């Protein structure tokens, strides 16, 4: 068999073969993830190519069960044995499909601290949807990564797959199962269309990798005022008062020596991939007893304390994250180090019940660097 013409780069020919569904290297890599290619595996197809394969835009859904194993606090939603059985079933299902689809991307817009992701799906529609959740990454970056994440998508797998392994997620349209230890996420049924749930699962499994690469994953929003970057930690109800000023509605950032990166794409292409180190950080707390002042400037140590507590009217949400997979105390220590190393100004705003939050208006603008 003749090789590619001399004017066609070998890399280009390799990509062409993968786009047509033939690649020994890709098939071998998928086998390492438990998936045996039955016929063809289409790699990183463009949107028009996905449509040619039958992909359609699926209406977004929400509220599907998100099961996580390996959070730093509380019991896991499912056991290791259940995770192993579920993994065998999803791999067996995908392996039974003639044509499967593979897409590589990343969580985090900072190449230095991102988490590489490979999606293996039985449906082109799932790839079309999930590609909007991930950042683009160089070709074959996942293959060369030391600890990539894997998303397994079984849109046509039996919805009884959970009950078959004594797992009852109560999801009529499917469910999301994330295993931090395995660095994997399993999506069944229409779960790929629950973007909020998918992002929650991906955040959980990516946090340990991001930390290991020198990044600090934070459940915060990004405000840009002039040349300054401001991080906002606040509950969802408070966010509504300033959502139009946020770079992204998602609560997910990475702060590193490079700057501030978003966990997930915003859908807008005019922003930088990495923003500056924050000039200021605003922590929103809710206390209707009067114990906290309306607003105050904090020392780095005070800021780290309030950050770790995440106090909201009698309840505590450590590091403002409802389920971090990294020890909150370790996150708080790294947070304190970032504040000191970069001399970041910190403010506490008391958003009392029934009062409109001043966040996003005068408070951070007057006090940011």
Q: Indicate yes or no: pTM above 0.95.
A: no
Tell me if 3 is assigned to some domain. no
Output the DSSP codes for 217-274: EE--EEEEETTEEEEEE--HHHHTTTGGGBS-SS--EEEETTEEEESS--S-SSS-SE
Residue 115, sorted as left (phi over 0), alpha (psi -120 to 50) or beta, turns out to be beta
Same domain, 161 and 61: yes
Question: What are the residue ranges in the chain where pLDDT is below 50?
Answer: 1-13, 353-369
Same domain, 205 and 262: no
Q: Which tokens go with 35?
A: 């998936």
pLDDT in tens, 322-345: 888 999 999 999 999 999 999 999
* Domain end residue (candidates: 162, 195, 212): 212
78 closest CA partner among 215, 201, 177? 177
Q: How many domains does the chain have?
A: 2
Full residue range of the structural domain in which residue 318 is found = 216-367
Q: At what angle do helices 300-309 and 328-342 cross, to 10 degrees?
A: 150
Same domain, 299 and 152: no
Same domain, 139 and 220: no
Tell me if 4 is assigned to some domain. no
Same domain, 178 and 235: no
Q: Which tokens go with 243?
A: 């959502």
* Domain end residue (candidates: 162, 186, 212): 212
* pLDDT for residue 302: 97
* pLDDT for residue 163: 81
Same domain, 185 and 269: no
Tell me if 196 is assigned to some domain. yes
Same domain, 325 and 183: no
* pLDDT for residue 364: 41
* Domain end residue (candidates: 176, 197, 212): 212
Element (H, E) at 122: none
Same domain, 178 and 260: no
Tell me if 230 sits within 8 A of 245, measured CB to CB: no
Same domain, 106 and 236: no
* pLDDT for residue 16: 53
Element (H, E) at 20: none
Beta bridge partners of 95: none
Same domain, 96 and 145: yes
177 backbone dihedrals φ, ψ, rounded to 5°: -125, 120
Tell me if 299 is assigned to some domain. yes
Q: How far apart are CA 51 and CA 101, in angstroms?
A: 13
Tell me if 93 is assigned to some domain. yes
Same domain, 55 and 191: yes
* pLDDT for residue 21: 65
Tell me if 227 is assigned to some domain. yes
């Amino acid at each position: 068999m003749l090789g590619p013409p001399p004017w066609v780069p070998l890399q280009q020919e390799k990509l062409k073969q993968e786009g047509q569904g033939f690649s020994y290297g890709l098939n071998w890599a998928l086998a390492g993830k438990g998936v045996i290619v039955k016929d063809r595996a289409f790699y990183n197809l463009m949107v028009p190519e996905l449509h040619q394969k039958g992909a359609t835009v699926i209406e977004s859904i929400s509220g599907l069960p998100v099961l996580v194993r390996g959070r730093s606090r509380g019991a896991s939603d499912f056991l290791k044995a259940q995770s192993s059985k579920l993994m065998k079933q999803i791999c067996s299902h995908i392996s039974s499909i003639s044509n499967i689809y593979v897409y590589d991307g990343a969580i985090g817009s900072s190449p230095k601290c991102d988490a590489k992701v490979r999606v293996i799906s039985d449906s082109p529609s799932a790839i079309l949807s999930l590609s909007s959740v991930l950042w683009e990454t160089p070709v074959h970056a996942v293959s060369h990564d030391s600890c990539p994440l894997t998303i397994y998508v079984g849109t046509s797998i039996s919805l009884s797959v959970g009950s078959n392994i004594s797992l009852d997620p109560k999801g009529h349209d499917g469910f999301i199962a994330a295993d931090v230890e395995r660095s994997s996420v399993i999506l069944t049924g229409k779960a790929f269309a629950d973007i909020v749930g998918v992002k929650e699962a991906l955040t959980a499994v990516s946090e340990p990798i991001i930390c290991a690469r020198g990044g600090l994953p934070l459940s915060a929003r990004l405000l840009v005022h002039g040349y300054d970057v401001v991080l906002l930690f606040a509950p969802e109800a408070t966010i509504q008062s300033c959502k139009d000023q946020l770079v992204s509605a998602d609560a997910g950032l990475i702060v590193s020596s490079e700057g501030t990166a978003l966990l997930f794409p915003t859908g807008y292409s005019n922003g930088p991939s990495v923003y500056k180190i924050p000039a200021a950080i605003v922590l929103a707390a809710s206390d209707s007893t009067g114990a906290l002042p309306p607003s105050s400037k904090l020392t780095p140590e005070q800021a780290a304390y309030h950050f770790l507590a995440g106090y909201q009217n009698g309840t505590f949400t450590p590091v403002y994250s409802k389920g971090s997979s990294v020890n909150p105390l370790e996150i708080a220590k790294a947070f304190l180090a970032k504040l000191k190393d970069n001399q970041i100004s910190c403010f506490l705003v008391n958003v009392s019940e029934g009062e409109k939050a001043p966040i996003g208006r005068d408070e951070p603008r007057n006090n940011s660097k």
